[in-house]
């Protein structure tokens, strides 16, 4: 578990955990993607998750968001919701948002429509016909457009955006969705240095009022985030602590560099 | 010395007469005994009948039958015994032993050889006994079969004699059953019980009727006999049900093998290439028509027609498949719904083309002799040779396909292109050709299915449409991308179809199966043997 | 976005939709006038049989609309939509059969001719109520809707989509076809329901009735178009498009995609049923071949040819293909199937965006095989 003395910006918020994975195992046709994984995120915390390919990072996200059912183990959100029993829409609606590794936005809709759709609002069918954009929400969308630098492209089809712009749009969608827990999978893949830095700043701002889990390979980015790090390997937690502590850990070195 | 010579000559004469006498006496013996039928009293007539029976010459049968039917007469002036058939006001008469025509006489010229009821019974017995001695095995068997229902214990001696003489195993079996059936009806109790037990498992309707009768209080006073009969009947019925189930299973396997043949090609093009080919049914249809054309072209070679048709159909349907792939399908890869629509259009074109070239009506395809007929295991289980052949053929073909996919370089390339097209191409595999050949291969298999189908059903332009929905159901049910899944799916659906047929009818059975599959898809959306894991999601 | 500006919402900047509506309104008004007011000798006269023919086309257009709603906007390719059309048709047919009363060939006051022929003595339970028009109309809506609800619930809840869904929808209509062909089902067997006399007391052969039915078809088409526009222009339209293109993502954003699909599927089925109900009195017969998979797939070709995802493209496709069909089946029937098959191939290989997208397509430079063109999106700005 995390040693408070090693945490650079201790943020044990209300002392409650927002997400608990307890002894979670998943196998696909004999291959163990997650192996008795135990992982806790405290409320208001931002955590970085790193690990070599195949370590189980994306599978872990799949389990949390309901895409994959674990063979065993508990996954609990806010001490209240058993995520292994809920499906993706329900999990999204109780407050967990996900940004994917490969930017998946709705290409045939405009940037504005994408944000409009992701907006935190009633998702039921009947609400679709009575939907109106309140001024508060309109302002919020404008703000997000501003933050993600897409204001000028608001009416363009999302499919015509560049790769980096799509990443930002997806982050923007996550912002307007306003979930309590954000799961961000490789947010800076394919971004320039400037964009990477901007993303780090954005995430740090977000984490002030939300809980965030970031999966990344880019170590400079992780360093810039300045948060506790969890290292995954072969489906379970290998080490946890600050980036420096983790980078000095023998087991971690062996796994990354080999002997 | 003179005495000795006289004695020897006398002995020679006696011997000479004695040796020739039996040869001529058998023919004249028969005539003599026939003549004896024209006796004064019924009792004497009875004795004459018995004499004819003992003689055991089947030539007497027409005489006795005629006597039974009231068609035996004595011609008054010639005193000959003749068979007379009424023709207008006169009678056509014929020789009772040879059947030769003797002309026409007036009724007044004939005196009927009359019979009473008792004699009729005697006659029937004699006829039954004599029929058992017929030269033709089939006639003997039918005679024995007829005895099961009607005969009483007095025929037993004749039956025993016939049984002792019988060389053919099948006829002997029927005689033995008849003997047991007759024995069961009357006689000494232990013998009857033994006879009843001997009838167990004999799936003959008449035998079962006999047992049924013996089970009832109204017919049989002895409780033990009744009990034994009831028991035996129950055992036989259970055996009958078992064989009935086996027959249903056989039909199910037969249908399943046809479905498998129809679906393998589809499993390959759909499972391996991701192409929905709605014209697949027409590939089957083309194979069936190929068979028809070959039979029309070589009418003298019907026995070999299927052996020629199988490779021919493979080539014809395969060629059409390759043409289809090169001209239409290759523009639509990655767009399964568009492929579905385009191939549906092609199916319309192919159907209409066949209608225009041949005719909208069904064409008949003959079954070669070596495939006709059936293996009759017993009365409840009959395995027709055409279905048997198709079942065996299907499995041989399946094994050949699996071997081809696994052990040949073509199969290897096919699998490589399926799993990772870009890598395969980067390694120098000509993916275009592999696609075309794979599609052609799948279509060719469908053509072979058409050859098999031509032996089971009518060949018409709509043949494909009847099987396309079924083929898809098999692939969907069995899981995409897996030949064993397709096999299991086809067999399951074939058997399920046949099991339901007796109580639901063929059409309703089909509907129920479709509904079942729709519900099944709920539980396992990717079929029985779907590929799991991330690779399969693409 | 203001909820009050309904007409703007419905038509927006979509010139295609405006042109379409104008055309249909003109047609609905002009055809009756040309039939009644213009004397038969004149070349502008529209004969009565043509009125029913056009009415038939309008019904098919409505049917095509229902398919475009789910296919063009939500990506659900139903190859069994003919079933809903046929069920609506049968519901109306049953009412019309009961209206015949004692005027049938066998003269039985209650039982239709085919039941008398089968030696039945009383009406089966499911025929009760069909002597009342309002009941029949209710059934036209309820029966296809119920089937769609059940079938859709089973399919969408188990995430059956794409090609698998198409195949089982085809199986559904095939099964229904087999069932309705059976004489003992009580729906007229392979002859279907026919020999209708009148509707609500009005003689079906009379000019006035035919014109009225035609006008109703036109009105129904316009109303359906308005409804579909309302759906796709609302937020739901965005959600449907999102589901079409990236269903998993839409679920991760929190939308119950299976419920949305079920909703549009059911609406679509009801529209198809209404089309069937208007069709039957105009052609005078309904038989089980309407359930055949071929009929259902033809609808898809109408939509594909016209251009899916535009609504008016579907109408264009339906009317043009059926006009072609009427022409060719009169002239050279054997040729028609060749033509239809060829049309399937042409549309899928050469016209991915249909006729309405032709201009845009010619301007678009084709990328390498595998790179798709952008799908037609809702062109209305979301303000």
In this prediction, residues B178-201 reach a mean pLDDT of: 81
What pLDDT is stored for residue C377 in this prediction?
39
What pLDDT is stored for residue B9 in this prediction?
64
pLDDT digits (tens, 9 = 90+) for B249-258: 898 898 899 8
pLDDT of B506 over the 80 cut: no
Rounded Cα gap, residues A108 and A101, in angstroms: 20
Q: What percent of chain C has pLDDT over 90?
A: 38
User: Could you tell me the two tokens for B368?
Assistant: 């070669």
At C366, the pLDDT band (50, 70, 90 cuts) reads: very low
The highest-level CATH class for domain A1-94+228-259 is: alpha beta
- Write the residue in C163, C338, C342 that is nearest to B276 by C-beta: C163
A250 CB within 8 Å of a chain B CB? no
Alpha-carbon separation of residue C11 from A164, A253, B505 (angstroms): 35, 63, 54
What pLDDT is stored for residue B527 in this prediction?
60
Rounded Cα gap, residues C55 and C61, in angstroms: 10
In sequence order, which residues have a C-beta less than 8 Å from that of residue A132 and are 6 or more positions away?
C1, C2, C3
User: Are C171 and B473 spatial neighbours (Cβ–Cβ below 8 Å)?
Assistant: yes
At C368, the pLDDT band (50, 70, 90 cuts) reads: very low
- Write the residue in C249, C250, C382 that is nearest to A116 by C-beta: C382
Rounded Cα gap, residues B47 and B53, in angstroms: 10
User: Could you tell me the two tokens for A19?
Assistant: 């997400």
- Assign A49 to helix, strand or coil: strand
At C375, the pLDDT band (50, 70, 90 cuts) reads: very low
Binary contact (C382, A100; C-beta < 8 A): no
Query: Which of the 8 DSSP states describes residue C380?
Result: S
- Write the residue in B276, B340, B345 that is nearest to C341 by C-beta: B345
**β pairing state of C202-203 and A72-77:** unpaired
Angstroms from B535 CA to nearest CA on chain A: 11
Chain A CB contacts of B532 below 8 Å = 28-29
What pLDDT is stored for residue B3 in this prediction?
64
Chain B CB contacts of C181 below 8 Å = 507
Chain C residue closest in CA terms to B507? C178
User: Are B371 and B385 spatial neighbours (Cβ–Cβ below 8 Å)?
Assistant: yes
| Complex ipTM | 0.84
Alpha-carbon separation of residue A112 from A98, A195, B113 (angstroms): 19, 21, 115
Binary contact (A109, C253; C-beta < 8 A): no
In this prediction, residues C153-176 reach a mean pLDDT of: 84
Alpha-carbon separation of residue B380 from B71, B242, B376 (angstroms): 41, 9, 9
Rounded Cα gap, residues B453 and C313, in angstroms: 43
What pLDDT is stored for residue C364 in this prediction?
56
What are the residue ranges of CATH 3.40.50.300 in chain A?
1-94+228-259, 95-214
In this prediction, residues C107-118 reach a mean pLDDT of: 82
Most confident of A34-43, B149-158, C201-210: A34-43
Rounded Cα gap, residues C313 and C16, in angstroms: 9
What pLDDT is stored for residue A10 in this prediction?
34
Most confident of A135-144, B113-122, C38-47, C274-283: C274-283
What pLDDT is stored for residue A258 in this prediction?
61
In this prediction, residues C169-193 reach a mean pLDDT of: 87
Closest by alpha carbon to B46, among B122, B116, B113?
Answer: B122
Angle between helices C133-157 and C257-283 (to 10 degrees): 140
At A15, the pLDDT band (50, 70, 90 cuts) reads: low
Chain B interface mutation, best of A27, A29, A102, highest count of B Cβ atoms under 10 Å: A29
Query: Which of the 8 DSSP states describes residue C354?
Result: T
Instruction: Decide which of A134 and B451 is more confident.
Output: B451
Q: Scanning the structure block, which residue is given the tokens 């022929």? A: C117
CB pairs under 8 A between A and B: 6
User: Domain spans of chain C?
Assistant: 15-292
**Lowest-pLDDT range of A31-35, B381-385, B477-481:** B477-481
A131 CB within 8 Å of a chain B CB? no
Rounded Cα gap, residues B289 and B365, in angstroms: 9
Can you spell out the DSSP letters for C232-249?
Answer: HHSHHHHHHHHHHHHHHH
What pLDDT is stored for residue C257 in this prediction?
92
Chain B CB contacts of C77 below 8 Å = 337
What pLDDT is stored for residue A187 in this prediction?
86
Q: Scanning the structure block, which residue is given the tokens 């000019």? A: C207
In sequence order, which residues have a C-beta less than 8 Å from that of residue C171 and are 6 or more positions away?
B469, B472, B473, B514, B517, B518, C80
Buried/exposed C136-149: b ≥16 CB within 10 Å, e otherwise: beebbbbbbbebbb
At B26, the pLDDT band (50, 70, 90 cuts) reads: low
Q: Scanning the structure block, which residue is given the tokens 């006689």? A: B187
- Write the residue in C236, C249, C250 that is nearest to A129 by C-beta: C236
pLDDT digits (tens, 9 = 90+) for A55-96: 888 899 999 998 889 999 999 998 888 999 898 899 999 999
**Lowest-pLDDT range of B520-529, C90-99, C216-225:** B520-529
CA angle B343, B345, B350 (to 5 degrees): 90
At B535, the pLDDT band (50, 70, 90 cuts) reads: very low
What pLDDT is stored for residue B524 in this prediction?
64
Helices of type H across C254-373: 257-283, 293-306, 312-331, 333-350, 358-363
Rounded Cα gap, residues C313 and C307, in angstroms: 5
Binary contact (C374, A108; C-beta < 8 A): yes
At A6, the pLDDT band (50, 70, 90 cuts) reads: very low
Indicate the average pLDDT of chain C. 84
Indicate the average pLDDT of chain B. 81
In this prediction, residues B15-35 reach a mean pLDDT of: 62
At C383, the pLDDT band (50, 70, 90 cuts) reads: very low
At C321, the pLDDT band (50, 70, 90 cuts) reads: very high
At C202, the pLDDT band (50, 70, 90 cuts) reads: confident
Chain A residue closest in CA terms to B533? A28
| Biggest CA-to-CA distance, chain C | 68
In this prediction, residues B208-213 reach a mean pLDDT of: 82
Chain C interface mutation, best of A83, A97, A117, highest count of C Cβ atoms under 10 Å: A117
What pLDDT is stored for residue B526 in this prediction?
61
Chains in touch with B (≥3 Cβ pairs < 8 A)? A, C
Binary contact (C234, A129; C-beta < 8 A): yes
Can you spell out the DSSP letters for B320-349?
Answer: HHHHHHHHTGGGGTT-HHHHHHHHHHHHHH
Most confident of A63-67, B315-319, B500-504: B315-319
Angstroms from C241 CA to nearest CA on chain A: 7
Alpha-carbon separation of residue C143 from C64, C200, C228 (angstroms): 19, 21, 21
What pLDDT is stored for residue B530 in this prediction?
52
At B21, the pLDDT band (50, 70, 90 cuts) reads: very low
In this prediction, residues B126-154 reach a mean pLDDT of: 77
Strand pairing partners for A157?
A: A110
In this prediction, residues C50-62 reach a mean pLDDT of: 93
Q: What percent of chain B has pLDDT over 90?
A: 12
CATH of domain A95-214: 3.40.50.300
Stretch 30-49 of chain A: residues touching chain C, C-beta under 8 Å: none
In sequence order, which residues have a C-beta less than 8 Å from that of residue B400 and are 6 or more positions away?
none
At A111, the pLDDT band (50, 70, 90 cuts) reads: very high
Angstroms from B531 CA to nearest CA on chain A: 9
Angstroms from C254 CA to nearest CA on chain A: 4
At C165, the pLDDT band (50, 70, 90 cuts) reads: confident
User: Are C310 and C318 spatial neighbours (Cβ–Cβ below 8 Å)?
Assistant: no
At A136, the pLDDT band (50, 70, 90 cuts) reads: confident
User: Could you tell me the two tokens for B177?
Assistant: 């059953």
At B151, the pLDDT band (50, 70, 90 cuts) reads: low
Indicate the average pLDDT of chain A. 85
pLDDT of A22 over the 70 cut: yes
In this prediction, residues B437-449 reach a mean pLDDT of: 91
pLDDT of C290 over the 90 cut: yes
- pTM here is 0.75
**β pairing state of C198-199 and C202-203:** antiparallel
pLDDT digits (tens, 9 = 90+) for A140-189: 999 988 888 888 888 889 989 988 888 889 989 998 988 999 999 888 88
Angstroms from A31 CA to nearest CA on chain B: 10
pLDDT of B23 over the 80 cut: no
Chains in touch with C (≥3 Cβ pairs < 8 A)? A, B
What pLDDT is stored for residue B467 in this prediction?
83
Instruction: Decide which of C58 and C49 is more confident.
Output: C58
Angstroms from A34 CA to nearest CA on chain B: 14
Buried/exposed B90-112: b ≥16 CB within 10 Å, e otherwise: bbbbbebbeeeebeebeeebbee
Residues of B with a Cβ under 8 Å from any C Cβ are 276, 328, 331-342, 344-349, 351-353, 355-356, 469, 472-473, 476, 507-508, 510-511, 514-515, 517-519, 521-523, 525
First to last CA, chain C: 5
Chain B CB contacts of C293 below 8 Å = 469
pLDDT of C122 over the 90 cut: no
In this prediction, residues B24-43 reach a mean pLDDT of: 76
Chain A CB contacts of B533 below 8 Å = 28-29, 31
What pLDDT is stored for residue B500 in this prediction?
79
User: Could you tell me the two tokens for B260?
Assistant: 């498998």
In this prediction, residues B82-101 reach a mean pLDDT of: 83
Chain C residue closest in CA terms to A103? C249
Chains in touch with A (≥3 Cβ pairs < 8 A)? B, C
The total of other beta-carbon atoms located within 10 Å of residue C10's CB is 19
pLDDT of C370 over the 50 cut: no
């Amino acid at each position: 578990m995390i040693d408070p003395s090693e945490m650079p910006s201790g943020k044990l918020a209300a002392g409650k955990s927002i997400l608990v994975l307890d002894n979670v195992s998943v196998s696909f046709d004999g291959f163990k993607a997650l192996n008795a994984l135990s992982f806790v995120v405290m409320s208001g915390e931002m955590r970085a998750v790193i690990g070599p390919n195949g370590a189980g990072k994306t599978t872990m996200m799949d389990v949390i968001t309901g895409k994959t059912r674990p063979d065993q183990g508990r996954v609990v959100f806010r001490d209240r919701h058993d995520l292994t029993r809920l499906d993706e829409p329900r999990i999204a609606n109780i407050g967990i948002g996900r940004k994917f590794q490969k930017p998946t936005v709705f290409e045939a809709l405009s940037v504005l429509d994408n944000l409009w759709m992701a907006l935190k609002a009633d998702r039921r069918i009947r609400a679709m016909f009575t939907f109106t954009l309140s001024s508060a929400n309109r302002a919020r969308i404008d703000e997000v457009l501003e933050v993600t630098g897409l204001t000028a492209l608001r009416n363009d089809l999302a499919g015509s955006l560049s790769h980096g712009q799509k990443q930002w749009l997806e982050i923007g969608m996550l912002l307007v969705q306003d979930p309590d827990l954000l799961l961000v999978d490789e947010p800076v893949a394919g971004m320039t240095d400037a964009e990477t830095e901007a993303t780090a700043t954005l995430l740090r701002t977000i984490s002030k009022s939300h809980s965030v889990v970031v999966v990344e390979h880019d170590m400079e980015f992780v360093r810039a985030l300045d948060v506790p790090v969890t290292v995954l390997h072969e489906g379970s937690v290998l080490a946890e602590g600050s980036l420096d502590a983790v980078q000095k850990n023998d087991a971690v070195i062996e796994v990354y560099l080999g002997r | 010395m003179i005495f000795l010579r006289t004695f020897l000559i006398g002995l020679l004469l006696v011997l000479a007469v004695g040796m020739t006498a039996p040869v001529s006496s058998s023919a004249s013996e028969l005539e003599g005994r026939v003549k004896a039928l024209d006796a004064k009293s019924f009792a004497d007539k009875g004795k004459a009948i018995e004499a004819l029976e003992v003689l055991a010459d089947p030539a007497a049968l027409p005489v006795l039958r005629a006597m039974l039917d009231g068609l035996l007469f004595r011609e008054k002036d010639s005193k000959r015994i003749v068979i007379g058939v009424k023709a207008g006001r006169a009678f056509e008469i014929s020789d009772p032993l040879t059947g030769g025509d003797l002309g026409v006489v007036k009724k007044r010229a004939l005196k009927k050889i009359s019979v009473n009821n008792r004699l009729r019974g005697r006659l029937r017995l004699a006829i039954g006994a004599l029929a058992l001695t017929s030269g033709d095995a089939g006639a003997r068997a039918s005679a024995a079969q007829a005895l099961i229902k009607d005969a009483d214990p007095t025929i037993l001696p004749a039956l025993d004699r016939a049984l002792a003489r019988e060389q053919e195993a099948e006829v002997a079996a029927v005689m033995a059953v008849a003997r047991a059936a007759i024995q069961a009806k009357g006689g000494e109790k232990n013998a009857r019980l033994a006879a009843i037990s001997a009838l167990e498992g004999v799936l003959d309707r008449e035998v079962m009727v006999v047992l049924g009768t013996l089970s009832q209080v109204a017919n049989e006073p002895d409780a033990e006999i009744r009990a034994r009969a009831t028991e035996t009947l129950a055992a036989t019925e259970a055996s009958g049900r078992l064989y009935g189930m086996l027959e249903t299973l056989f039909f199910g396997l037969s249908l399943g093998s046809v479905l498998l043949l129809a679906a393998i090609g589809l499993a390959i093009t759909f499972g391996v290439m991701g192409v929905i080919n709605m014209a697949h049914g027409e590939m089957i249809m083309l194979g069936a028509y190929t068979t028809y054309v070959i039979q029309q072209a070589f009418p003298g070679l019907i026995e070999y027609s299927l052996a020629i048709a199988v490779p021919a159909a493979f080539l014809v349907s395969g060629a059409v498949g390759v043409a289809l792939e090169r001209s239409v399908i290759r523009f639509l890869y990655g767009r399964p719904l568009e492929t579905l629509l385009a191939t549906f259009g092609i199916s319309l074109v192919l159907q209409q083309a066949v209608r225009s070239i041949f005719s909208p009506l069904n064409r008949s395809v003959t079954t070669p002799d070596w495939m006709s007929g059936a293996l009759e295991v017993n009365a409840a289980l009959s395995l027709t040779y055409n279905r048997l052949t198709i079942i065996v053929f299907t499995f041989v073909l399946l094994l050949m396909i699996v071997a081809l996919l696994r052990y040949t370089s073509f199969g290897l390339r096919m699998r490589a292109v399926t799993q990772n097209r870009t890598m395969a191409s980067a390694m120098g595999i000509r993916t275009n050709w592999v696609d075309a050949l794979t599609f052609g291969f799948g279509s060719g298999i469908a053509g072979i299915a058409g050859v098999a189908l031509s032996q089971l059903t009518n060949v018409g332009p709509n043949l494909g449409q009847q099987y396309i929905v079924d083929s898809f159901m098999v692939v969907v049910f069995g899981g995409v991308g897996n030949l064993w899944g397709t096999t299991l799916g086809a067999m399951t659906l074939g058997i399920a179809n046949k099991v339901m047929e007796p109580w639901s009818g063929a059409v309703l059975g089909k509907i129920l199966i479709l509904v079942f599959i729709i519900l099944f898809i709920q539980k396992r959306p990717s079929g029985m043997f779907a590929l799991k894991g991330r690779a399969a999601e693409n | 976005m203001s909820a009050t500006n309904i007409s703007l919402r419905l038509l927006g900047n979509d010139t295609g939709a405006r042109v379409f509506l104008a055309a249909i309104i003109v047609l609905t008004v002009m055809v009756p006038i040309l039939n009644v007011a213009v004397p038969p000798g004149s070349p502008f006269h529209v004969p009565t049989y043509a009125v029913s023919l056009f009415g038939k086309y309008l019904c098919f257009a409505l049917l095509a609309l229902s398919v475009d709603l789910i296919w063009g906007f939500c990506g659900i390719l139903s190859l069994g939509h003919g079933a809903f059309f046929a069920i609506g048709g049968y519901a109306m047919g049953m009412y019309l059969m009961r209206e015949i009363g004692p005027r049938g060939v066998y003269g039985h006051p209650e039982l239709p001719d085919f039941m008398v022929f089968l030696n039945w003595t009383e009406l089966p339970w499911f025929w009760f109520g069909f002597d009342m028009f309002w009941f029949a109309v209710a059934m036209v809506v309820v029966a296809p809707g119920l089937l769609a609800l059940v079938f859709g619930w089973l399919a969408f809840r188990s995430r059956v989509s794409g090609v698998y869904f198409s195949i089982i929808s085809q199986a559904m209509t095939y099964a229904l076809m087999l069932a309705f062909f059976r004489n003992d089902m009580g729906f007229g067997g392979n002859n279907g329901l026919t020999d209708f006399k009148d509707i609500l007391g009005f003689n079906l052969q009379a000019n006035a009735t035919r014109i009225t039915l035609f006008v109703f078809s036109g009105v129904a088409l316009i109303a359906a178009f308005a409804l579909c526009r309302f759906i796709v222009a609302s937020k739901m339209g965005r959600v449907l498009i999102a589901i079409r293109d990236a269903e998993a993502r839409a679920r991760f954003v929190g939308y119950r995609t299976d419920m949305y699909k079920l909703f549009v599927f059911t609406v679509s089925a009801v529209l198809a049923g209404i089309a069937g109900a208007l069709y039957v009195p105009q052609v005078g017969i309904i038989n089980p071949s309407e359930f055949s998979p071929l009929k259902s797939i033809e609808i898809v070709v109408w939509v594909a040819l016209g251009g899916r995802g535009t609504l008016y493209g579907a109408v264009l496709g339906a009317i043009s293909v059926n006009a072609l069909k009427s022409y060719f089946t009169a002239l050279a029937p054997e040729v028609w199937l060749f033509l239809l098959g060829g049309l399937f191939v042409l549309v899928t290989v050469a016209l991915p965006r249909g006729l309405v997208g032709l201009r845009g397509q010619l301007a678009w430079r084709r990328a390498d095989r595998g790179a798709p063109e952008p799908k037609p999106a809702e062109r209305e700005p979301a303000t």
